[in-house]
Each structure stands twice: as C-alpha cells, then as structure tokens.
Amino acid sequence: MTSLPKGGRPVETETTGNYWAIPKYAASKRALALAFEKVSVSPQVQLEQFKLLGWMPVNQAGVKAVEAYSPASKPFIGAESSAYPTSIAPVWSYVETGMLTAIHNIASNIATSGKWDQSYAASQLASAQAAAQAQA
C-alpha cells in the first residue's frame, strides 16, 4: 500500500518512546531522576536505542541522529509527524510478544520448507490475535 485508503487516518508506526514519571516517594532522588531522563533523550542514547531495539526517536535531535545513521528510517519517522497517537493499552505486551512469536514461527517455517505458506502464516497471526484479544 502506498497511500491511505479513503477516510483513513495515519497512526504512529509503533507505541514507543521515552515516557517518564517520577513518583512522589522518590522526591529525594528527583534531581538524579531528571538527570537520567535528560541523558535518556539525548541524541546519542536515542541512536543506541534505535540500533539495539529499533525504537523511534522522541525528539528532533534524536530524529537527526537516527536519520543520519539510517536513511531508510526516514519514511517511518516522517509518517509519525502527521500521525494520530495511539492510546496506551495494557494489552500491548500480549500484542508485541504474540506478533514476535508469529513472525518467528512463520520465518522458521519458510527456513525449513523453503517456501511461503499463506495458510500457515494466517493461522499464526490468527492465533496471536486471539491470544491478545483474550487479554483485552
């Protein structure tokens, strides 16, 4: 797909980023927590997070660092600039692990059989969806 369907709205490519909260009980360590937050959103750290985890950058300095390192990231980052954020969902951990498991199983099947099997892929994705829906 190269364009949104009629009436479609762009959404973020991934629900990631650095969102921090400092609890009241940690008030004596507030300065340390703020220093950690400042480091975590630095361009250098965001680039490492992108390299190691595939996380998208969370500020313009991080965007510049990631795009300089990986020009292929530009379409994904560009899509986020006009996207509607998705709400945080507790079920996300089930969606993420379910998709990773499905992708692993599909890739293993391709590696062992040497061919794409649409019905196998569909069954793996359906299984992941059912497991996540059960937690929603």
Q: Where are the domains of the chain?
A: 1-87, 92-133
Angle between helices 60-69 and 74-81 (to 10 degrees): 160
**Residue range 16-42: average pLDDT?**
81
Q: Which helix (H) or strand (E) holds 122?
A: helix 118-133
Reported pTM: 0.53
Q: Is the pLDDT of residue 117 over 70?
A: yes
Q: Is the pLDDT of residue 23 over 70?
A: yes
